[in-house]
Chain A
């Protein structure tokens, strides 16, 4: 997966990049559950991320970002459901994931 997808306006998928170079192609609607990502990608502002549909996070490792993406999908999938099963998060990652969540305002 190479970077720099042509800036073709709003795409259905956006790319999230971790500080150690992992890239995640995520459905836009799921990604925008995170408030910070939503604003990043808001086309009205014209920031770098919005133009390139690509968000690079220099503070988040691939491992954590994967967990975040997993949560975003999990959230999207279950948004209308009741009695949702808990999501598994390995205990040793909890703090890091928590910080990422705070940063991204999930």
Chain B
């Protein structure tokens, strides 16, 4: 799911050239909204196995905040990065308070709903089927994004805009509309990511900030602005984390930073940095 958030960050940075710290907040919001939506659905008598579409729907529905947030960020597009970081970090803090206000400070959990899909044995491990569903979903979204960017007209316009905004405008591309849609897509990637991850963990207020750090690690490893990089980076970070937790839990974060530093030293632009024309 880290991939989804990192992909959102990549997409927004690639096209709009802004570093959006608030992507972590979208993830947290998606998680909380997912918890609430599933609880409400179960209380309304929905059969438990249908919780998955409810989560997806909650994540997607939350993306409606995208255009409003994008509007708020519009004045800083041409400003220095420090302004972007300041304003988006302010958003992070505001969203934290919104979450505290609406959901309180206690962690929220969905209990064992995710086990309704059963478990499967993979070799010596027992894995909840839901985790596999989430992985499949991430892969499907990755493939969908790839298809969207490579094959659709709007995807091509998005790539052209990312490469040369001025020239895209001269070709009749309305930047305000492209930005609004791209940003909303980035928000949706974050909120869906948050919603999908929640059955297997707990929604806590710090999850947004924690995730930003990891998402940036993914972006640094993969290369800023590259979708394939986001996918590869998320895989690397995910696997390293899992291995570290299983073998030597104390170095979990350290291991990731070691990789980040190694990438920065050896390939400063990231593993999948795009060659610029």
> Is B a genuine binding partner of A?
no
* Chain A residues with a Cβ under 8 A of chain B: none
